[in-house]
Amino acid sequence: MKQPNAPSSLHRTLRLQGGFTLLEIMLVVVIISLLLGAAIYNMGGNVESARKVRVQADISSIKTQLKLYNGLNGFYPTTQQGLKALVTQPTSDPRPRHWNQSFEQVPLDPWGKEYQYLVPGKHNPNSFDLFSSGPDLQAGTADDLGNWEAEEPKN
């Protein structure tokens, strides 16, 4: 005869197969958090590199459109007309004879600022300077990324 207070074999089995304890779940969450934190920390340099590559690609694209503008009209847009001359036809002199819209809007750099454009350029006095003011968002500092690296004469 069975004793009334003795656990049944079904009850013992359920107790042995119980779910995870709160401590076990928290330990797994902490381990996952540490792994994600390490992965994000290690990817930080890659994000900055990707931004720099994007700047160079944008500069190359804009530079191509500026050279096309120059080829069609015989001059680059002025500094005052800026890169907006590739989006809307300039109304100030010199006015382009053969204008085509190159972009839907003025491209922004990866930090959300417009690319800087100077004619004649400080680095390229015979053409133009086109650059991003970089992560510090300040033009004229060491982290500026521009078209002068590729266009400076090699000695």
Which residue would you say has higher pLDDT here, 42 or 106?
106
pLDDT at 117 over 80: yes
Query: Tens digits of per-residue pLDDT, 78-104?
Result: 999 999 999 999 998 998 988 888 888
Which phi and psi angles does 55 have, rounded to 5°?
-60, -45
Range of the domain at 126: 57-155
122 assigned to some structural domain: yes
Q: What is the pLDDT of residue 81?
A: 93
20 assigned to some structural domain: no
All residues at 6 or more sequence positions from 76 whose CB lies less than 8 Å from its CB, including other chains: 66, 69, 70, 119, 127, 128
94: preceding bond cis by omega (within 30 degrees): yes
Q: Residue 113 is part of a domain; what is its CATH number?
A: 3.30.700.10
The mean pLDDT value for 63-84 works out to: 92
Nearest-5° Cα angle at 10, 13 to 6: 105
CA distance 44 to 63: 29
86 assigned to some structural domain: yes
Q: What is the pLDDT of residue 65?
A: 92
73 assigned to some structural domain: yes
One-letter amino acid at 111 equals W
52 assigned to some structural domain: no
pLDDT at 76 over 70: yes
14 assigned to some structural domain: no
Tokens 């590559």, located at residue: 53
Q: How many domains does the chain have?
A: 1
Q: What is the pLDDT of residue 15?
A: 58
Q: What is the pLDDT of residue 129?
A: 92
22 assigned to some structural domain: no
103 assigned to some structural domain: yes
Do 61 and 151 form a contact (C-beta atoms < 8 A)?
no
